[in-house]
Structure 1
Amino acid sequence: MHDPEQKQSEQLDWLLGKLRVVHDAMRDKLLIAFENHGEGVLATMDDQAAASEAGAGDIVFPIDRVSEEELIEMLSREVASEVPIVVVCEGLPGDGVIALPAGTSEEEAVWRIIVDPIDGTRGLMYQKRPGWILTGVAPNQGDKTSLADIELALMTEIPLLKQHLGDQLWALRGGGAHGVRVDRLSGQARTLAIRPSQATTIRQGFATVCRFFPGVRDVLAAIDDELIARLLGPQPVCGEGGDEARAFEDQYACTGGQIYGLATGQDRFVADLRPLMQPIADERQQGLGHCCHPYDICTALIAQEAGVVLNDPRGGELNVPLDTTTKVAWVGYANKKLYETMEPELKAILRERGLIKE
């Protein structure tokens, strides 16, 4: 008789292999589309931006449609032909949920797979920074399935056209984080070590409070400055070290890219507090603007398996439904020591500003 846990483990291993094939195909199709820039769906970068449309949780660009079509076709062939699944993805009809193979009910599905076909679309579209294909897999528990249920996460870099190397990272719960670096010219891959920063201070490192878009950036910047002052002391005056850049930030408008940065040692701290700004936006009688969604943060398991502490800003477990609309606030600390040092200060600032409660 098969042990149910062993059976699930074997199926997750199988799923990982299949999903890597899917991700590779999606990445390659997107790169071909960008290489054919000026023809077909891409036209020019500005035309691409002008042709955007509103989606359930984000703006959808024509290049997103290329990725979504490849995703459903590949998942149907590589995965759903063997096991029924539910796919949750921005841009899909209705509420962004579809059961595969066609004709399957959501209740029949064994796995719930949440996908962001391109995270960081605009930066990639303008060839400024790489984008990422993100996928999280959880046992299907219907609408109750949450981020904490994800057992497998996979993320694949969509490199810039001038970039010949791209990374792919994955994790199975309890199995650590793993990665490869792929040379897209030769097709060769080599193992990539996944190791977060072990620094015990943010001094001379990258520490970011996200404020990508207009709206309440003044408040987010003030929180950032106050946190730095509490951790490193006030900025010295000129002539006494006042010209030192004591810490840096990186406003990479791509949650997957930030997860990668935390997991690989590029970043020591990232806080995306945008959903907490709702009361301030209401006070100002303005919209909150775009926020992180579950599909953006669905590869959190990779960073966690690498040793990153990733929490809700209130200090609890990061646990949200696997849908396309929930607004997600999150904080990542590269290691436990940074978490122990920084979290009390951040929570104190947020409490004093009335953004979280005791």
Structure 2
Amino acid sequence: MTTVTHPLLRLAARVDAIQPFYVMELAKEAEQLKHAGRDIIDMGIGEPDFTAPEAVVEAAASALRRGVTQYTSALGIRPLREAIAQHYADAWGVEVDPARIVVTAGASAALLLACVALVDRDDEVLMPDPCYPCNRHFVTAAEGKPVLVPSGPAQRFQLTAGDVERLWTDRTRGVLLASPSNPTGTSIDADELRRIVDAVRARGGFTIVDEIYQGLSYGERPVSALSLGDDVVTVNSFSKYFHMTGWRLGWLVVPPTLIDAFEKLAQNLFICPSALAQYAALACFEPATLAIYGTRRLEFMRRRDFIVPALESLGFKVPVMPDGAFYVYADCSGVTHPAAGNSAELTKAMLHQAGVVLVPGMDFGTHAPRQHVRLSYATALPKLEEAVERLRGLFSA
């Protein structure tokens, strides 16, 4: 047999500009320990321990039996777009034309579509630091330049209108926000969000707002960015509030004038979202199913109300109470451990010595990442309680 050797294929330069997703790397390490017999409590990945309610599962099974598994419109099936629009009216008091809704293969596909549609080469996009790591990589993949704006506790780890006004240049194209946010679980104040949108609009830019955790808000009913004008682009998902992470289904709401452009891009880049997931998602909006989601939201709030004071009792600082999602962004510099203030080393120690997974701040930006860890409380309360006791033992050793 002749062995043929090939030169190493040259990768596109954008690959080097995209950093590893450290939470997934840590998850792989935790999985290896599990296979070796270790009992690991995972508070790293932001995935609800709840799964799709029975009505959603049955809707998927029914769709499979009926054979409705072929290509759909690139924008998604009309009944689902109408159901999403009705949900905006019922839950958030916002009227949305179903024609503006683009169903996608998860929120990731939605964000990628938005960036491909709106970002040109070398365009700058402002976003807070810390933020969800993939957001900056979506901009990079579109050959734009993410501009991470240090955003501390005083501004709830969020971008402000003052930031927009101060940092906007001739190269700035828009802003990419999330409310509530991953990794901080904090929302943008409604008045501040309005000021941001006004500031961006005055400069001819775009505003993209990731609202995938909006259903998991724990204070007053939040205001959707859609209420601020039909020029705002919002992103949502069936993964978090609707507990369908692996189904890969999300959506965008886009300005009326951009529907044709988004449809063209969706046709070429994705063909269509999963037909099976779309028909299953129709059951998410049935009254009985929505009641289940409401009960689960209260359970997430109960977990938050346990874990925040528990973390503080361990020496962590939580400078801003998370008001949504299922994350806590905590300052680890005050814990009693040799790796205090070095989140990468500390999370390694927590994994290997206590069997507890948290995520180091380096995933989420460059603003004080060594000082912070992210915890996901999307796991059962007894597991959270056990994890706290394990960490208490580690920090008192």
**TM-score, length-scaled by structure 1:** 0.30
**TM-score, length-scaled by structure 2:** 0.28
**Which of the pair has the greater relative contact order for Cα pairs under 8 Å at 6+ separation?**
2
